[in-house]
Chain A
Amino acid sequence: MRTQKIIYILSLVFLAGVFFSCDDFLDLEPQQAVSDDAIYGDHEGVINALHGAYSLVASSNLYAGTSIFHSDLVGNSGELNWTGTFIQYRQWNWKAMDPNDGFISSKWSVSYKAIDLANNILHSLDVVDEGHRARVEGEARFIRGILYFELVRFYGLPYNAGANNLGVPLILTPTAGITDDDYPARATVGDVYQQVLTDLGEARNLLSVVPTGAGANGGRATSTTAAAFLSRVHLAMGNWQAAAEYADEVIGNLGGYGALHDNIRDAFNNDEYTSEDVFMINQNATSNAGQANAGIATFFASLDGMGRGDVYASSAYFEMFDPEDHRIQITEDPEISVIADVPTMFYIGIGTDSGNEMSSKWGKHDANIPVIRLAEMILTRAEANFRNGSSIGADPLDDINAIRNRSHAGDEWTSLTLEMIWEERFRELSFEGHKLHDIRRFQGSVVAPAGSPWVGETIHWDDGRLVLPIPQREIDVNENLVQNEAYL
């Protein structure tokens, strides 16, 4: 009978298993993600989305990488050398970009992902604690504004080539399910610029609730940073008066010439905001754009275990300076290991692709990345005033000399031309992503280098070949999008 008892008990156990089932069994929740409806339901969720949007702005396809050297490579006429293996970057330098370029499509898709987050945040402001509402709206508008500015000036012809040219699609509402409305056409350059002005203008007003000055609001957007971008935008639009006024506001908020470091080298590779920083991308050891295949220092540095040494200055570059200029002094010392060992703005590379003249601006993969420096604002005020025939805040000559004197660039200048202002901008801001945009504003040109399909050809500022292609995947997916003419 023992046997039968065993059978009886075992049968019960197994039969319990047979009929073990209920629908809850299949309700499994993810462990490191949350459902989208939970995010925008409360204050904390919206704040998380806001920080998430910053993390995208800080990605290697935007301000922590290609937004900077994209401009410098496309705008390069031989003052810097690109010798890396990435075919995409070589093509940028050739002014022969590929619509299938993964970096070009990532810049697009990451920007729009951050814009969608910003749109969601702006749509959910009513759940944000009242005391934070203005700040959160201001920061979201700031992010949306600077990203549309970034998109329109890379993927569209410059504003001064015509406001009716095609810009980028303007998406101002959150995505909820995919409908026909999610297949937008491109707005005009002018419309996108207007939206950028609206967003940044609103941001500047709304963010008056937080302190201003370098590094305020946790290093995120403030009314000063919004004003700094407004000055950039107006400069690109040719609104000289407004550009000078906003630049002047920023310079005032940071403390004038006195906030410039005595040594320009101190403005780079910092882990904290310094007096000269208007807006930086915050990075640290666990949160940075990378050091193997992405991130700006990866391509610019040639140090011990840091950088691929892909971008470096050519002799043509150094010829544009006074030999005593601090901005071209070179450290040649095989004993250096990290960028902190380099006191000058250049060093002879000691890591991968060693032996070349490397810029010290980008030498540490997890240092903060200055996006707007006070020096840029001073140069902008000078240029805008000069073009406007005004002296808002300062005389253009004083501004330019303030920049030159700090780097011992030679005798003080006593008169100015537009050409001189441009050249000074180049000397001060090279490798910081201004090259292409300045060429367009000053209506200059670039020369295609060896290897380019148009080798030796002079390509003018408004040439379509300097505009990025709309990513091919976007063209394939959305029939309402029109490709840029140079890529048809």
Chain B
Amino acid sequence: MKRILTLMGILLFMGGSLFGQQINVSGTVTELATDETMPGVTVMVQGTTIGTVTDLDGRYELSVAPDAVLVFSFIGMKTREVQVAGRNVVNVSLEPDVELLGEVVVVGYGSQLKYELTGSIASMRAEDLQGATMPSFESALQGRTAGVHISGGSGKLGQVVRTRIRGSSSISASNQPLYVIDGVPVLSQNLGTTGNEPTNPLADLNPADIESIEVLKDASAAAIYGSRASNGVIIVTTKRGREGRTQFNVSTQLGFSDPSNTVGYLNRQQYIDLFRDAYANVAGGPNEPYVIWDSWDDALDWRLYAWRDPDNPGDVYSGPDVNWEDEALRRGGIQQFDLSASGGSESTQYFAALSVMDQEAIVNGNSFDRINARLNLDQRATDNLSFGLNMSMIRSRNFRVAHDRAFATPLQMIALPPMNPIIDPATGELNRNTLYENGLVVREYNNFDTEIFRNFGNLFADLRILDNLNFRSEAGVDVLNQREMEYRGRLTNDGGPDGFAFDRTVTAKVFNLENYFTYQQQFADDLDLNLVVGTSLQIADFDFASMTARGFPNDQFKRIASASEITSASSSGTGYRYISYFSRANLKYRDTYLLSLSGRMDGSSRFGRDNRYGFFPAVSAGYILTNEDFLVDNYTVSFLKPRVSWGLTGNSEIDNFASRGLYMGSNYAGLSGMVSSSIPSPDLKWETTTQLNVGIDFGFLNNRISGEIDYYIKKTSDLLLNVQIPATTGFTTVYRNVGDMENKGWEFVINTVNLDGEFSWNTNFNIAFNENTVTNLDGQIISTGIWRVMEGYPMGVFYTKEYAGVDPANGDALFYLNEDGDETTTNLAAAANRVVGDPNPDFWGGFTNTFRYRGIDLSIMFQFVYGHDIYNHGRQWQADGFSWFDNQVVDLYNDHWKQPGDETFYPQPRFYEGNGYGTSSMLIFDGSYIRLKEVTLGYTLPRDLVRRANLDNVRVFVRAYNLLTFTDYPGWDPETSAPNTADIGTQSSNIQQGWDFYTAPQPRTITFGLNMGF
């Protein structure tokens, strides 16, 4: 298809033809970097319609005039013009087009040449995803796509990835983009139980199957998805077969991962020294009585089991000394194997792939595996009809651990004092008498397995009604079957005394039907029209069933059949529907002036009856200056296209029945009953975002320097707000369309070719600035924990007491008393709340350098985020100066007040009473970081060598993720997203950004890979 378009494009530029003496010319087309032959390259005689296409071995043959000029072109490669000059053999090598302006990008309901785009779209190609080992593909967008802010979950696998395109545009509705895979909007929301962190259904797609990812950022690009496009749209296109012999590709990877950071907690000696001081500070001396304790070590005897050395109980420094951080985190591993076959005949093409992946997380107890099979098929049935199939079958399994806020989560082990032995000296078994539950006991006896069987795919048909009128129909399904099985052993706190099991199934079915006409017409030689008109409907149904039970004969029996008591059983269902009508017209005048108009009408079951339909128009225009006579073929200014777009998009990602007044079942010890759950809001409608985008695409010095600059203003109005109302009504919130929010920012992308030729060096730099402001909330204040949404501030600022540091005279923690001013108090409760931080970044981006020399390739990617604050909630206990017995961070040990005059960050530790214990800005830190995200070093074996082994190509590579991180953030990882059990699309998850609560760091992963084609 793409090839045909190119061919047509080339044909259009052609004038008459040449006659005269002919000679035969033949040759082979190869790729410069790899020396591989290139099938499918178009070879045209300049100024004629004579041409051919290279065969499977990259060969061509033509009969031409001796002085003819041959034009070699191929998608993604620089077009070359070569003088025949009487030769009979003309061998040519092509190199990649550095700017890829001739590249075709997928837009909603069609594709477009990139240089003709008038909207703002970021794309990523297959090669960037090659060998990707992150479970979920959208992580790969990090640092590579301007304006897309990705924060990976944590060191736990298969977690939801927080994706923000040009900032957050909603408070109560989802801020995650819409994901469309091969034309089907797929499930991307959490389907896991509310008892654990949200899962990521996108982890079911194998990154190796992906041909391209397009991120539709501005309104003109996204508005074709109407009511679901406010957060941007991410379009994923999977690989397809091409005509030719079957090409097999085998790739395998093996690697290991370690925590990218450790924090450091007190060892035995440090703990004892600090604890004794903390006790003495409140008791008046280490051996003075206090509350119920006689002395400092009496308090330890009272609370810490077996902390003394049995052989030498008098020597407090001798005895168990456990580094619990090392027990919680570990070395993980990765294995991945991919096999694909693609090829086909003139009428049938296929791409078939199988992938097996197995990862062990750095978090003790967590692992993830996945098997994917895919078949993409294209069949030309007649000259006018072709149809095809994309089908993917997946099984993924996530062996999970408890959520970050549960005592049973592995990272909470760091709260245990180093003197708590791992093994109970009395029993020889794992110690069950630790300060808090011993995570190793949980690890041993509990499991939480999530298994997903998923099938996504679609069936499509293209019917050519007239030469320039096409009809396409796509029927897509996304069926997801998820099974969660949890067992908590008899010896664990949550499972005792006789075992606990939880079993849940989710069946999600999304059916999607799209039908559209595409009409192409050229008027008066220089006006091109491309028109799309169509409809879409989507039906989504969800069924849930779950059961919990207690009372198992022993831990060998984990299924509910063996339980003595069913403690709960439930089944439920929900769903939503959309019906839409859309149209888009792209106009091009003289190849220079571009105009695009689009509109979509969407209806959704989620809204009040009177407000069911919304209309979302967009308009954009571009001007390719370099196609004007005065700039055409200018070497210095090789490409220049200013563009502007404006449009409306919607957001409807709220509860399925948010507009209704509802009652839910609630029983009273066997009596069935109902309680009210929501108050009606019959006027509820879409949240609307207006976005204005002004940008310029440029290329200088024959596109050696190219890039894009964009400025946008995104205004969201009629926010779907979960408005707070007095609880005296019996309800605490009601959904209403209230308030406005604004995002504005700049995006810069610069690509340079620094060195060309045998040794090549390319650089990509992208950076995005975004400023988010809640402009109007109709007087509402929305607060969740320490996060607040307030007019005039960015979303979810930290609003709490401000820590004023330590009183050098006495070591007291001081807090600012009033909303402004410098007056301080030691009474945390009396201090006023202030805005003390902002979890939204000021700017973020990536910096990638790629080097090639003969067969060697090296790519180095840095990724950075600046200006976001993080609430290190865990430090409330990890650095509380022994308000209880929790182990403390080494930072506090090194930097706390000891004597008058000391100027320290942490106050004097005070056992039991605490000193500044509680929530304040003491727990808020700058999270800015720059990270060496990815380094890949590859070597493609010389062709002669691999030919001898009957192979087409062989590449070996080593790849490292998260190799280095530069940050002042004192926690595990500055790239933290809310470790919250709330679904990613909900208000609390939207607001609670930058929350670090015993959250595991990202892994530092190193993999070794081998890739073979034959």
Contacts and interface: CB of A to CB of B under 8 A. Distances in A.
Interface of A: 3, 6-7, 10-11, 14-15, 17-21, 23, 25-28, 30-37, 39, 45, 48-56, 58, 81, 85, 87, 96, 98, 105, 108-109, 112-113, 115-117, 169, 171, 175, 177-178, 182-184, 218-219, 282-287, 292, 303-306, 314, 337-338, 351-352, 354, 450-451, 453, 455, 471, 473-474, 476-478, 481
Contacts of B567: 285-286
B171 to A, nearest CB: 16
A7 B612 CA distance: 36
Nearest to A284: B669
A48 B515 contact: no
Nearest to B516: A18
Contacts of A48: 663, 672-674
Contacts of B763: none
A354 B661 CA distance: 47
B730 A112 contact: yes
B566 A286 contact: yes
B164 to A, nearest CB: 27
Contacts of A117: 675-676, 730
Contact of B577 (A26, A36, A108): A26
Contacts of B827: 453
A87 B883 CA distance: 11
Given A18-B535, A183-B726, A352-B493, A52 B382 contact: no
Nearest to A98: B829
Contacts of A184: 726, 728
Given A3-B382, A338-B497, A49 B674 contact: yes
Considering residues A45, A58, A116, which has the most beta carbons from chain B within 10 angstroms of its beta carbon?
A116
A98 to B, nearest CB: 7
Contact of A314 (B292, B660, B671, B672): B292
Nearest to B567: A285
Contact of A32 (B290, B664, B675): B664
Contacts of B463: 7, 10-11, 14
B575 interface: yes
B565 interface: yes
A34 B579 CA distance: 24
Given A32-B665, A476-B724, A20 B537 contact: yes
Contacts of B673: 48-55
B79 interface: no
A52 B660 contact: no
A286 B670 CA distance: 8
Contacts of B579: 21, 25-26
B662 A474 contact: no
A113 B574 contact: no
B91 interface: no
A56 B660 contact: no
Interface string B431-447: 00100010000000000
Contacts of A27: 605
Given A50-B673, A51-B672, A287-B667, A26 B604 contact: yes
B385 A6 contact: yes
B679 A52 contact: no
B677 interface: yes
Given A338-B497, A453-B829, A33 B726 contact: no
A246 to B, nearest CB: 25
Contact of B675 (A7, A113, A351): A113
A171 B728 contact: yes
A305 B493 contact: yes
Contacts of A351: 496
B49 interface: no
Interface stretch (B258-266, B911-919, B1003-1011): B911-919
B663 to A, nearest CB: 5
Given A52-B673, A305-B496, 17 more contacts: A7-B385, A18-B535, A21-B535, A25-B537, A27-B605, A30-B574, A35-B661, A52-B674, A54-B668, A58-B668, A85-B877, A109-B732, A113-B730, A182-B729, A219-B669, A471-B727, A473-B783
Q: Which 3 interchain pairs have the tightest Cβ spacing?
A: A305-B496, A116-B730, A51-B673
A287 B603 CA distance: 40
Contacts of B734: 178
A117 B668 CA distance: 14
Interface string B488-516: 00101111111000000000000001010
Given A56-B666, A305-B495, A113 B515 contact: no
Contacts of B572: 31-32
B675 A304 contact: no
A11 B471 contact: yes
B4 interface: no
Contacts of B669: 58, 219, 282-284, 287
Contact of A105 (B537, B661, B727, B918): B727
Nearest to B533: A18
A162 B515 CA distance: 74
6 contacts: A3-B385, A32-B572, A55-B675, A85-B877, A182-B726, A477-B725
Contacts of A314: 292
A423 B134 CA distance: 66
A52 B918 CA distance: 37
B317 interface: no
A287 to B, nearest CB: 5
A185 B110 CA distance: 59
Nearest to B723: A178
Contact of A305 (B497, B726, B730): B497
Interface string B731-747: 11010000000000000
